[in-house]
Each structure stands twice: as structure tokens, then as C-alpha cells.
Structure 1
Amino acid sequence: MALLNTPVPHPGEIWVVVRFLASQSGPVTYDMLQTFLEPHSRESKKLTTVHYALTTLRSLGLAEEGSDGQGWALTGDYAALPWDDYAAFQRALRSAVLGLRGRQPAETADDLRRALVWILTRDPFSESFNWAMVDSRHQRDAPDGELVFVNDTRWSPFTTWATSLGLGAPAPHIAQRYIPDCTRAVQQVLEEQLPPDTPADALDVLRLLREHLPVLPGGAISQSLGYGLADDRTAGAALSFALMRGEYEKWLILSSDSDAKQPIKVQDPEQSAMRLCSSIARKEAAHV
């Protein structure tokens, strides 16, 4: 089932199931999961949230039911997941959805990846979205001419999935709006890949982020869907927003060397021209 179609549970509901499984010393039967997490549904013949959460996790390669009937267990990046580590849950979920670390992208996440690619081409400095705004007027830039969201039932699930993946967030300035704020995902990737207090070439960092977040403009998934970049040194609006937010929150330092040979171009709404950045350094920060 596609992740943006009902009745697929939202990531918050999946986290409840994952957390319970991670807290156990071995496989857990479906009946036990249902008893502890949905006791009110025990007498119902309808499929429950637990059922759909397990089905979703299996489709992403993150849980499996034993063939011997011993129950469900976490697999893949969730196999050794601490029961209280939401950030690790978030990282592994994003890796599974985007098909990182040598995996094939899960077919059930095709619609989610396509929606992420589209919204990450938008400008969080000047645009915010609700369903009324996500219509054909805002999707005419789709390379294949098709709508990213075929109906309004997919918009709400999309916002919860994008938030859980660290690739979107509610607008801080307008109620009931959503922006392509990928700051959390960018912060987590740089925390894992860049040593603290060590300046790195900005173009190398840009390529690193596109490798680990391939739905960003210039990334492999984005390009495969027809969203190319004329210049790979241009960060793009969504990534510029994340980098500048990191600088504002003081966990990133963006520097410009006057004689740098290949600085990247970062969008800055307070400047009339693109801001040039030649090196990026990560400051030591709390685990995210």
C-alpha cells in the first residue's frame, strides 16, 4: 500500500509499535501487541492500526514476522534500536524511505518520495502551504505534467511523514501552513558525517547532503524525476534555508574566502544577490 493512502498509519503511530517491539527481549506476537496497544479492538474483526503499522514496517524492511509463528521482530536498521531513541527511529525511517545504504527504494514510498521532491523545490523563505494552495496552480512545474497530489486525502499524511523524516515542518509564522524545512534532516546528516569544528569545503558538503538526502534538488531521486539543476554549486531555496537556520542557531558556521575557486551559492533573502560560501563547519551540539 502507498504510504500516502489511507488507512496507512502516520509515523507517530508506527513509532508506538516500534518502541514497544524495541523494548522487548524477543519477538512479540500480534495478539500481544494488540492487547497492550489496542485492547479496545480485541473483539473487532476490523484491521487495526497495529496491523497497518506492521505491514508498513515490513514493506520498508524494518520488521518481519517469524515463519515459525513466534511473532514480530524489528529488522534492518531497527534491529538494535534503543526503545527511547526517537532520533534513531527518524534516521532509519528516512533511510528506508529514500533507499539509502545500498537499499532499493521501497515501492510503497514512491508517492511520498515524489511529493518530497516537489515540495523541496519550493521556497520556504517566501512560500507556505495548506491543501487549498496545493493545487494545479502550484504543481504546473511538475516535469511530467501530472499532479503530485491527486486529491486532498494525501496532503495531511504527507505533512506528518515529511515532518517525521526531518524534511518538512509546520510554518512557524502562519497557522495551519506547512513549509519545506529540511533543517532537521540536514542537521542529522552533518552530525553523522562531519567532524565538529573542522571546516569542510562547501561544495563537498553540498554533494554530501544530496547523496544522503537525494530528494533535495540536485539529488539522485530528484534528478530521476526530472528536477535538474543547471548549476550544482547552487544550494537551492530549501537547502539554503536549512543552512542559514543552522548558522542562526549557531550549530553551523558558513564562511567565505575571497579567493575560493568554487564557492557555493546560498540564497539569502536579506541580500540582493546570492551569498557565496566556500567552507562549512559544524559546531558540537546536542544529539538530534
Structure 2
Amino acid sequence: MALLNTPVPYPGEIWAVVRFLASQSGPVASETLRTFLEPHNLDAKKTTTVHYALNTLRSLGLAEESGDGEAWILSGALADLRSDDYAAFQRALRAAVLGLHGHQPAEIADDLRRALVWSLSRDPFSESFSWALVDSRHQKNAPDGELVFVNGSRWSPFVAWAGTLGLGASAPHIAQRYVPDCTCAVRQVLEEHLPADTPADALEVLRLLREHLPVLPGGSISENSGYGLPDDRTVDTALSFALMRGEHEKWLVMSSDSDAKQPIKLQDPERLSMRLCSSITRQEATNV
């Protein structure tokens, strides 16, 4: 069942199940999960949110049945999760959805990936979205001419999943609007793969981000969906926004060497031409 379809729970509900499993020392019986997480819904004949959450985790390779099939444990990237490590939960979900670390992208996330590559082709500097706006103006923006969303019921789950994956956010000043702000995911990737306080070649950083966030323009999933860029040094607006936000929040330093042979080209709405960057340095949070 596709992640954006009902009755698949929202990721916040899945996180509640994951936290409970992570807090236990071994396999947890389904009935125990239901008793603690859905005490109001113990009718054995009803298919519950816990049931759908467990099946979704299993489809993503993040949980499995243990023993006689009546108990569950976390698996894959969540096998050793601490119950308070939400960032690790985000990274594991993102890896499963996007097919990272040698895994194939989860089939149940096809519709989510399609929506993500569309949203990350948009401009967070100047655009925010509601379902009414998407439905009236953007539904046929995909390169293949097909609808971005099959129907309006998938918009709210998409907003929730994009936020949990760190690839979207609520508009800060406009109620019930969505912005393709991927800053959270970008920061997590850089924290995991880029040594702090060591300048790195900007083009290598760009390639790193596209490898680990392949729904970004220039990434493999985006390109396979028909979205393109002029060249591999051009940074799309969504990623430009995230990098410049990192600079503004002082956990990134971006600089340009006039002698650099392959600077990347950032979209900056405050400049008449592209901003060139040849070096990116990640700063530790303690230095920010």
C-alpha cells in the first residue's frame, strides 16, 4: 500500500510505535503494543493504527515479526535505535524511501518520491504551496505530463512525510502552507559525512548531497523522473536555499576562490547573477 494512501499512518504515529519498540529489551507482542498505544481500541476485530504502522515499517525493512509472528522487533537501520533518537529515525526512513546504502527504493514510496522530486524542483525563496494552489496550477508540472498527485487526499500525508524526512517544512508565516525547504536533511547529511571545521571542495559537497538526497535536482531519482539542470555545477533553488540558510544560521561557511576552476553556482535572489562558491566548511554546533 502506498505511503500516501489511507489507512497508512502518518509518520508521527509510526514514530510512536518505533519509540515503544526501541524502549523494550526484546520482541514486543502486538497485543502489548495495542494495550499501551491504543487502549481505547482493543477490539480484536478492528484493524488498528498500530497494525498499519507495523506493516509499513516491515515494508520499509525497518521492523520484522519475531518467533511465532505475534511479536515485533525493530530491524535494519532501526535495529539499535535509542528511543529518544528522532534524527536517527528520520535518517532511517529517508534511506528506506530513497533507496540508499545499496537498497532499492521502497515500492510503497513511489508516490512519495514522485511528489518529492516535483516539490524540490520548486523555489522555496519565493513559493509556498497549499493543496488548492497545487491542484489549480501545478498538477501537470511533472515532465511526463501526468498528475503530480493522484488526488487531493494525498496532499496532507505528503506534507507530513516530507517534513519527517527533512525535505519539506511548514511555511513560517503563512498558515497551512508548505515550503520545499530541505535544510534539515541537508544538515543531517553534512553532519554525518563532512568533517567539521575542514574546508571541502564545493563541487564534491554538491555531489555528496545529490548522492544521499537523490530526489534533489541533479540526483538520480530526479533525473530519472525527467527533471534536469543546465550542468552539474548548477545548484537548484531548493538546495541553494538550504545551503544559504546554513550560512545564515552559521553552521556552514561558503567561500569563493577567484582562482577556482570548478566553482558551483548558487541561486541567490538578492543577486543579479549566480553566486559562485568553491569551498564549503561545516561548523560544529558548539561553535555556532
> Match for residue 208 of structure 1?
208
Where does 1:208-287 land on structure 2 (aligned, <5 Å)? Answer: 208-285=208-285
Q: What's the secondary structure of 1:17's corresponding residue?
A: helix
Q: TM-score, normalised by structure 2?
A: 0.97
Q: Which runs of 5+ in 1 are unaligned?
A: none
Where does 1:1-288 land on structure 2 (aligned, <5 Å)? Answer: 1-43=1-43, 45-69=45-69, 71-135=71-135, 137-285=137-285
Structure-2 separation of matches of 1:214 and 1:69: 35
Provide closer, same or farther for how the CA distance between residues 77 and 8 of structure 1 changes in structure 2, counting only shifts above 3 A: same
Greater mean alpha carbon deviation, residues 10-19 or residues 129-138: 129-138
Q: Deviations over 1:124-170 (max 9, x none)?
A: 00110000011252133311100111211000000000000000000
Q: TM-score, normalised by structure 1?
A: 0.97
Q: What's the secondary structure of 2:8's corresponding residue?
A: coil
CA shift, 1:190, in A, is 0.2
CA shift, 1:43, in A, is 2.2
Greater mean alpha carbon deviation, residues 136-145 or residues 16-25: 136-145
Q: What's the secondary structure of 1:235's corresponding residue?
A: coil
CA shift, 1:224, in A, is 1.0
Structure-1 separation of matches of 2:102 and 2:143: 27
Q: Is the 8 A contact 1:123 1:237 kept in 2?
A: yes
> How many pairs align?
286
Q: What's the secondary structure of 1:276's corresponding residue?
A: strand
Structure-2 separation of matches of 1:281 and 1:97: 28
Q: What's the secondary structure of 1:211's corresponding residue?
A: helix
Q: Deviations over 1:214-243 (max 9, x none)?
A: 000010111111112221111100000000
Question: Which amino acid counterpart does residue 6 of structure 2 have in structure 1?
Answer: T
Q: Deviations over 1:92-139 (max 9, x none)?
A: 111111110000111000100110000000000011000001125213
CA RMSD, Structure 1 to Structure 2 (Å): 1.1
Q: What's the secondary structure of 1:247's corresponding residue?
A: helix
CA shift, 1:175, in A, is 1.4
Q: Which runs of 5+ in 2 are unaligned?
A: none
Q: What's the secondary structure of 1:41's corresponding residue?
A: coil
Q: What's the secondary structure of 1:254's corresponding residue?
A: strand
CA shift, 1:46, in A, is 1.9
Structure-1 separation of matches of 2:88 and 2:173: 29
Question: Which amino acid counterpart does residue 220 of structure 1 have in structure 2?
Answer: S
Q: Percent identity?
A: 77
Q: Is the 8 A contact 2:202 2:279 kept in 1?
A: yes
Q: Is the 8 A contact 1:136 1:147 kept in 2?
A: no
Structure-2 separation of matches of 1:30 and 1:111: 29
Q: Is the 8 A contact 1:197 1:282 kept in 2?
A: yes
Question: Which amino acid counterpart does residue 245 of structure 2 have in structure 1?
Answer: R
Question: Which amino acid counterpart does residue 201 of structure 1 have in structure 2?
Answer: D
Q: Is the 8 A contact 2:30 2:70 kept in 1?
A: no
Q: What's the secondary structure of 1:134's corresponding residue?
A: helix
Q: Is the 8 A contact 1:27 1:70 kept in 2?
A: no
Structure-2 separation of matches of 1:140 and 1:70: 45
CA shift, 1:70, in A, is 5.3
Q: Deviations over 1:40-80 (max 9, x none)?
A: 11125221110010010000000011242451000000000
Structure-2 separation of matches of 1:58 and 1:206: 32
Question: Which amino acid counterpart does residue 23 of structure 2 have in structure 1?
Answer: S
Greater mean alpha carbon deviation, residues 140-149 or residues 61-70: 61-70
